Amino acid sequence: TRIRPSSKRCAVIGGSGFLGRHLVEKLLDKGYTVSVFDIRQSYELPGVTFHQGDLCDKQALLKALQGVSLVFHCASPAPASDDKALFQRVNIQGTQAVLQACTEAGVQKVVLTSSASVVFEGTDIKDGREDLPYAKKPIDYYTQTKIEQEKLVLKACDKEKGLLTVAIRPHGIFGPRDPQLVPILVDTARRGKMKFIIGDGSNLVDFTFVDNVVHGLILAAESLRPESPICGKAYHITNDEPVRF
Ligand code: NAD
């Protein structure tokens, strides 16, 4: 028997991670019922059901997606690992499994956390828009598979079949419990390794506060309707607009 999807029932794939957990907390605040699907469980929260499993395992996903109408996909191997086979398995085959499971479970909306690096060719981009082409020479395997992942998710947007998709592209994310970005910067500085400047010191990097990324993900989800122009599209997200919840 299939449980009828409820519009306030969602699943966060990668919900044990840095971004995923912030997203879960905001969804709970907003009255959603949340299931987390992740290979590890890193916390417990009232109102959250945890499903431990690998997103490449469609059967495991199907169990977690029963009755779910909205899926946020924010799982990925750590970019620093540079393990080609792992990125391919999780970001490409895994994303195919996620999309198949969503279709079979009757999920209506999928919101992907992509990355702004999908358009980065190694030279500075300022005020880059979404009509920039995908990088022809992605900077690493992580980015290469993030491009393939985003294409798969956006291509799966099908109003006839009743599955709507959208992608959000943050660059660096910072905020409480960030395990990588700021701790690594601080550690490198403490060890005296930040005395070098690449170029003339005017390089730009885009960082987004985690709550703003969460805000963008939820706005995308709530705006995703068959008549909406955002269906099947990707959006950059940055800190320009202060967030007001
Ligand atoms: P994170 O490592 O904190 O969280 C990722 C989660 O995915 C982890 O909990 C991990 O256990 C889970 N996961 C990994 N492989 C899995 C698998 N096979 N099956 C199930 N779960 C699996 O990373 P994060 O910073 O929260 O990143 C979330 C998303 O945002 C990722 O898609 C990442 O590509 C994207 N992103 C992050 C940043 C950033 O600066 N942190 C920037 C741009 C895009």
- What pLDDT, in 10s, does the model give residues 20-36? 999 999 999 999 999 99
Is 241 a member of any domain? no
Specify the pLDDT at position 243: 39
**Alpha-helix runs per DSSP H in the chain:** 18-29, 58-64, 84-87, 94-105, 141-155, 181-190, 210-223
Return the ligand 1 atom nearest residue 16 CA: 9
Ligand 1 centroid distance, CA of 80 (Å): 12
Is 1 a member of any domain? no
Total domain count, the chain: 1
| CATH number, position 40 | 3.40.50.720
Is 182 a member of any domain? no
Complex-level ipTM beyond the 0.90 threshold? yes
C-alpha separations of 19 from 72, 131, 175, 219, 226 in Å = 11, 26, 9, 15, 27
Ligand 1 centroid distance, CA of 73 (Å): 9
Is 186 a member of any domain? no
Is 202 a member of any domain? no
Domain that holds residue 92: 6-174+207-236
Comparing 199 with 136, the larger pLDDT belongs to 136
Is 194 a member of any domain? no
183-235 residue pLDDT tens: 787 888 888 877 767 677 776 677 899 999 999 999 999 999 999 999 999 99
Q: Which of 226, 43, 243, 219 is nearest to 235 (CA)?
A: 219
Q: Taking CB atoms and a 6 Å cutoff, what residues make up the pocket around ligand 1?
A: 14, 16-20, 38-40, 54-56, 74-78, 90, 94, 113, 115, 170-173, 179, 181
Tokens 């995908």 correspond to what residue? Answer: 134
